[in-house]
Amino acid sequence: MHYESQIYHLNNKIEEIEFSIFDSLRNAIEQEQSEINKLSDLIAHIDYFVSAAKCALEYNYVKPIFGDTLDIKGARHAIIEQYKKDFISNDCILNEERMIICITGPNMGGKSTYLRSIALIILMAQCGMYVPASYAKLKLFDGLFVRIGAGDNIFTGDSTFQVEMLECAEALKHSTPNTFIVFDEVGRGTSIRDGISISYAICSYLITKKIYALVSTHYLEMLPIDGIEHYRIKTINNNSNISVLYELEPGIAESSFGLNIAKCVELPKEVLQKSYENYNKLIIKFNSSLN
Ligand SMILES: Nc1ncnc2c1ncn2[C@@H]1O[C@H](COP(=O)(O)OP(=O)(O)OP(=O)(O)O)[C@@H](O)[C@H]1O
Ligand SMILES: [Mg+2]
């Protein structure tokens, strides 16, 4: 036989042998499939318990208790505190008399971080884990909905605001008085008037349906809302130099200080200057009260 054709035939033979080994391995695995599934399930459980216990010990988590109200002291964000060692903790108290808290404050003030830290604590507690707080009493919720951030899905035909509204609708449709909702700046993706109208109506709905919720907004014009507790991020305003303390205090923020962030990220000077001029000129009048 020609040398080239010998090699060709040998290659075919190698492939045949390899496939038969692979096939017998596959059959052997199939025979043991249920045992393998049980074992991997067991390993996953051990991994979960060991990791949860390790985190609880290393990161100083507490064992949550369950009751009729939500009372979290010294709540921290499980991830952010890993790279911000000076992370500022905050409390969250919700009960039948105060079911909804609205957070206002400057951009970069820690509103979203706070909302997420509470949602994460609820999720971790209901998964059976210890939580990043100094004390945590929680209600057992039947659902947790978090609507945060902005993003579109152009491939399925969903625009940015449509995604926001779809997610809100999903949360509101499936919520009961035992559900926990987190709405971060709902109504942000449309005009001020549309946004405020929707945002205010959603807050009213949450109040009427008696749903536990944390919301945040930059629409200071629609606040205060009766039936909602208002908290703001503490700031120090030193000659228009804004320092953020990441601490919550009762009240409504005086401004979102968005121009301050524009300055920090160094927008072109002309743009910044014009922004400040516009800000001073711009007076938005809300003649009729939403209440
Ligand atoms: N409690 C905290 N302690 C220390 N740092 C914090 C704390 N909360 C937030 N930060 C830091 O501030 C950054 C901005 O926080 P966050 O995105 O929550 O602000 P925000 O108020 O939601 O701003 P925006 O209004 O622009 O959405 C975080 O990425 C984090 O680095
Ligand atoms: Mg935010």
Pocket of ligand 1 (CB under 6 A): 80, 84, 87-88, 105, 107-113, 246
- Write out pLDDT tens, residues 163-185: 999 999 999 999 999 999 999 99
Q: Give ∠ CA 241-244-246 in degrees, rounded to 5.
A: 175
Q: Token pair 């060692």 is at which residue?
A: 85
Of the pLDDT bands very low, low, confident and very high (cuts 50, 70, 90), residue 286 is very low
Question: Using CA of residue 211, residue 181, residue 61, residue 125, what is the dihedral sign?
Answer: positive
Among 76, 87, 108, say which to mutate for ligand 1: greatest number of ligand atoms within 8 Å of CB.
108
pLDDT of res. 238: 87
- Please give the number of the atom of ligand 1 that sits closest to the Cα of 110: 18
pLDDT above 60 (res 287): no
CB-side exposure of 68: number of CA atoms within 13 Å? 4
Percent of the chain past pLDDT 90, that is, above it, reads 87
The overall pTM is greater than 0.85: yes
Contact yes or no for 225/200 (Cβ under 8 A): yes
pLDDT above 70 (res 289): no
Instruction: Tell how far the Cα of 87 is from the centroid of ligand 2, in angstroms.
Output: 16
Tell me the average pLDDT of the chain. Answer: 93
Q: Token pair 């920090």 is at which residue?
A: 264
pLDDT of res. 284: 53
